């Protein structure tokens, strides 16, 4: 069996609400987006790395750090919702295939997850390439007590306050999606419009590596983790 063609896709908009110019924000001496480019390029499975952006400066920075770049159409300028990212992935793969590329497996890597490890990417891809999975995502074990707010009242959603205790959490099977790694078969995405489907597998990540940089305090936390844990 020959090795599949594996392409990584990093969506990187120029506009962001929580942190202005987030993808270019400094993290340990490099722009935020550069860390995810480095993860993808270090993967044993990934053949090409594409950063998709409408922003010329981000495309220039991405190319400097070794990624291929592609301009996203205007219809994708302002929305990074799950559905729009999947549509953007479909458009990107279709555009590359029109240029003669052959893609078997896609890997979606958000630049907002700079604490992921290359091994996590490789494990996810190998599960699709060799393990019989159609798609794989990264998760972290979540033992949070969750509540639903309705006006000025609150109600628990995943536990009974009468029996709350550490022993109860030991029996939970509750996991959070951290948006760090997604691997999927090309045909799954193109035929269904969704990166997750079919037989879905997962790779586990520690909670501390699952920070998603969305707000200024997230970026400060990641900077501190890089400093304390000696990351680069």
Please give the Cα distance from 35 to 185 (Å, whole number): 24
Of 102, 148, 164, 229, the catalytic one is 164
User: Residue 113: which region, alpha, beta or left (left: phi > 0; alpha: psi -120 to 50)?
Assistant: beta
Beta-bridge partners for 154: 149
Please give the Cα distance from 216 to 214 (Å, whole number): 7
164 is catalytic: yes
Going from the C-alpha of 43 to that of each of 106, 175, 224, the distances in angstroms are 13, 25, 25
Please list the active-site residues.
164
């Amino acid at each position: 069996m020959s090795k599949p063609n594996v392409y990584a896709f990093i969506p990187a908009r120029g506009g962001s609400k929580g942190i202005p110019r987030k993808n270019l924000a400094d993290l340990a001496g490099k722009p935020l987006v550069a860390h995810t480019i480095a993860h993808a390029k270090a993967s044993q499975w990934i053949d090409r790395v594409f950063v998709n952006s409408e922003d010329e400066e981000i495309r220039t920075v991405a190319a400097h750090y070794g990624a291929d770049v592609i301009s996203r159409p205007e219809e994708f300028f302002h929305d990074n919702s799950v559905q729009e990212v999947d549509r953007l992935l479909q458009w990107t793969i279709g555009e590359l295939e029109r240029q003669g590329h052959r893609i078997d497996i896609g890997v979606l890597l958000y630049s907002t997850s700079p604490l992921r490890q290359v091994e996590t990417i490789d494990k996810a891809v190998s599960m699709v390439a060799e393990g019989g999975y159609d798609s794989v995502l990264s998760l972290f074990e979540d033992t949070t007590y969750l509540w639903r707010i309705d006006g000025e009242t609150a109600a628990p959603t995943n536990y009974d306050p009468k029996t709350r205790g550490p022993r109860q959490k030991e029996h939970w099977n509750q996991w959070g999606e951290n948006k760090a790694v997604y691997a999927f078969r090309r045909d799954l995405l193109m035929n269904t419009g969704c990166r997750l489907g079919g037989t879905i597998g997962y790779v586990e990540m520690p909670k501390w590596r699952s920070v998603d940089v969305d707000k200024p305090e997230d970026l400060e936390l990641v900077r501190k983790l890089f400093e304390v844990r000696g990351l680069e």
